Amino acid sequence: MKNLVIIGGSGFARELTWLIEENNKECLEWNILGYISEPVVDTKLKYPILGDDNWLLNYEQTIYAACGVGNPYLRKKITEKFKDKKNIIFPNLISKCATVNKDTKFGKGCIVCAGTVINVDVEIGDFLLCNMSCVVSHDDIIGDYVTLDPNSNLLGFVTVGSYTEIGTGVQILPGKSVGNSVVVGAGAVVNKNLPDNCTAVGVPAKIIKYNK
């Protein structure tokens, strides 16, 4: 088995624990050592908190890590601390209960939760966090550090830029593009392209602010 740590100590860290444990039932691959986190009061964590980032930075042997942090920028900030450590590997963790076309192009460190469907000819960058029951349709292109919240639905030929968060239940209509560093609010329907650095909400989605 391969030793693995989960970075984070919140609700999604627990969901990720479940994903890995369920996958282990089919193929015993991961030995979960515990969490890399500041001390937290979340008493529902199933494994010990091993320590903060320094615990992992000082770890000398080969180790696998999964970043269970939903915010795209925080996920980037955290994972970049480890980018020069060749012994720390961020695998792609795809739930056995997701349906993912075998030819999907993934970068590294991607997480795909149960119930999601990823269709044909999809390209995905590094550190995608795709929550439960999303649909990523044919020919979609997704950048780095994108978060897809539960039940978000990207129709065909959609492009999503890096560091963008697509809220729960969002629908992005065919061929539309969402820029880098965008937040699309829960329940929105994106029927026009969205530029970089904005927050958009509603049906149809309208920009409510530009982010710094």
Ligand X SMILES: CC(C)(COP(=O)(O)OP(=O)(O)OC[C@H]1O[C@@H](n2cnc3c(N)ncnc32)[C@H](O)[C@@H]1OP(=O)(O)O)[C@@H](O)C(=O)NCCC(=O)NCCS
Binding footprint of ligand X on the chain (CB under 6 A):
131, 149-150, 167-168, 183, 185-187, 199, 201-202, 208
β pairing state of 30-36 and 159-160: unpaired
What are the residues facing 154 on neighbouring strands?
136, 172
The CA angle 206-172-76, to the nearest 5 degrees, is: 85
Judging by beta carbons within 10 Å of its beta carbon (0-12, 13-18, 19+), is residue 66 exposed, middle or buried? buried
User: Could you tell me the end-to-end alpha-carbon distance of the chain, in angstroms, rounded to an integer?
Assistant: 43
As measured in angstroms, the least distance from the Cβ of 201 to ligand X is: 4
Q: Which is nearer to ligand X, 92 or 199 (CB)?
A: 199
**φ/ψ (deg, to 5) at 126:** -85, 150
As measured in angstroms, the least distance from the Cβ of 165 to ligand X is: 7
Q: Which is nearer to ligand X, 40 or 208 (CB)?
A: 208
Q: Which is nearer to ligand X, 37 or 151 (CB)?
A: 151
As measured in angstroms, the least distance from the Cβ of 166 to ligand X is: 8
As measured in angstroms, the least distance from the Cβ of 62 to ligand X is: 31
Q: What is the amino acid identity at position 190?
A: V
As measured in angstroms, the least distance from the Cβ of 85 to ligand X is: 29
Residue nearest to ligand X (CB): 185
Q: Which is nearer to ligand X, 117 or 207 (CB)?
A: 207
Query: CA 117 to CA 150: how far, in whole Å?
Result: 12
Quick one: which of 175, 188, 180, 133 has its CA closest to 161?
A: 180
Cα-only R_g, the chain: 17
Q: Which is nearer to ligand X, 14 or 34 (CB)?
A: 14
